[in-house]
Amino acid sequence: MSKKPENSNKKMYLDVYLEILNLLNTKNVIAVYRATGNPDDDGYLSAPEYQTGIQSQLDEQAFRDLYRIAVDSPYNYSLPRRIHLGVQIGF
C-alpha cells in the first residue's frame, strides 16, 4: 500500500477583483468659494473694486488667464475615475 503525500490535500485560492470608483467620471463639487458659491471662481476678476489693479497689469489678458488657472483648484472637486485591478493568491 502506498501512502498519500501530506501536501496533497492543500488548496490554493485565486481571487481576482476589479474596483471602479466614480464610474461615470462625474465632476462632483466638494468645495466652493464663499463670495460666489462657485468651485472655479472666487469673484476677484469681476469685482469692481479690483478692476483698476487688474487693468494696470503689464498684460491684462494674460493676468486674467493665469488667475483663472490658479483659482480653478482641483481640490474643489472629487477624485476622477479610478480603476483598480488586483489578484490575490492564497495557499
Q: What is the pLDDT of residue 18?
A: 97
Find out whether 65 and 5 touch, Cβ atoms under 8 Å. Answer: no
Give the pLDDT band (50/70/90) at residue 63: very high
The pTM of this model reads 0.63
Give the pLDDT band (50/70/90) at residue 51: very high
User: What distance in Å separates the CA atoms of residue 39 and residue 37, rounded to the nearest whole number?
Assistant: 7
Kindly report each contact of residues 42-48 with a partner whose C-beta sits within 8 Å and lies 24 or more positions away, as own/partner.
Answer: 42/71, 44/71
Give the pLDDT band (50/70/90) at residue 83: very high
User: What distance in Å separates the CA atoms of residue 25 and residue 16, rounded to the nearest whole number?
Assistant: 24
